Chain A
Amino acid sequence: MLAYIIQRVGQSALVLLIVGLVAFSMFRFVGDPIDNMLGQERTAEDIDRLRAQLGLDQPFVVQYYKFLEGAVQGNFGVSYRQGRPVAEILLERAPATLELAMVSGVLAILFGIALGVFTAIRRDGVLANVIMSASLLGVSLPTFLIGILLIYLFSVELGWLPSFGRGETVDLGGWSTGFLTESGLKALILPSITLGLYQMTLIMRLVRSEMLEVLRQDYIRFARARGLRDRAVNFRHALKNTMVPVITVIGLQLGAIIAFAIITETVFQWPGVGLLFINAIQFVDIPVMAAYLMLISVMFVGINLLVDILYFFIDPRLRADRSGGH
């Protein structure tokens, strides 16, 4: 098992190194940062000074090493557009995205599992069929249209909820939270539904199909024959055994939530990391793009690694397989 974990950690490190190379190449070869930072009226001295300041006058290998060194320490250079350190901007924006992702993740997991179990147990019920059909529409509806629809209903027509921004935030030692004010909580509702809806449908459909599979097994029939109550059979015996694939998907979707937050944040002008990234692309702000790429890769690779390792603890069969086969 230890060998397997070491192997997986090694693979993850390799992936991160490759991503680092991509990020660095973006830095080095895409566009001319001098062009991006200085306007039309610039002097040769300005150009030289900035070139030296950004380290662009040094050889390739030195720059790559400096980039890696900096990245490990969380130093990603200076944003071309805002002229401030990228790490500082990212730290300032991170709480907004993390809070949004957390709320939508919790919503998606809770409602996804509950609805999945419900539609599996009442598979021929009217309500379950309505939910299933609605979920099909939910999967093909693009995220940004869901957001616009919600804004139209709850902000334009009903005027209940704000359509953009985070509302008032409270600063807790560098972490600005929207959880503590009424307007902050209100502002969270629409974006988190928009972001969580797709993941919720995914989880729900997965739980349902896994449940249906498990409910067909002999040990469920046996449990019923023993006279156990429905509740015990459904939750203690069936749901527990659907959890392996569900946890995989939840783990992988956690990363997807952060990525899809880009879309939600743009629709709701939510001042998070995703909106920062989109603006960086629009203005070709390479340091911000590279930093975002590195950050999100660490997250994705880390989550993948964690999910793989978690398997060992959830499903004993995998442990046996690995020690024999690999």
Chain B
Amino acid sequence: MDDFYRDYILDHYRSPRNFGTLEQPDAAAEDVNPLCGDQIRVELKLDDGKISDVRFFGKGCAISQASTSMLLESVKGMKLADVAKLPKDAVLENVGIGISPTRMKCAMLGLRVLKSAAIGRLADWPDEE
């Protein structure tokens, strides 16, 4: 588990990218990790069915915050329909090494909230699909 906390993870934890809120988001969702109470809110600005801007707001552990920060770096320009189909590997490719099963929900929270914003209802847990 201590393998997880690499420099770039801690960098995203301490300096999250796209952190904050949008003036008038076109879509948004939020959720809480039932395990530890981590909270994530994701707001999207849309242009012709594609994500033109994104912000997230949240508090919680390094896994949930860094996972979300890294995930959102790659979603600008994506179609909502493609966001809805993002697999858990979209997160695990960034942060997969060293995550224990008990912390998987922390890693998946940001992806779940992003997909929820994209489909307009609470999405399934990506690791349970």
Partners in one complex: no
Interface residues of B (CB under 8 A from A): none
Interface residues of A (CB under 8 A from B): none
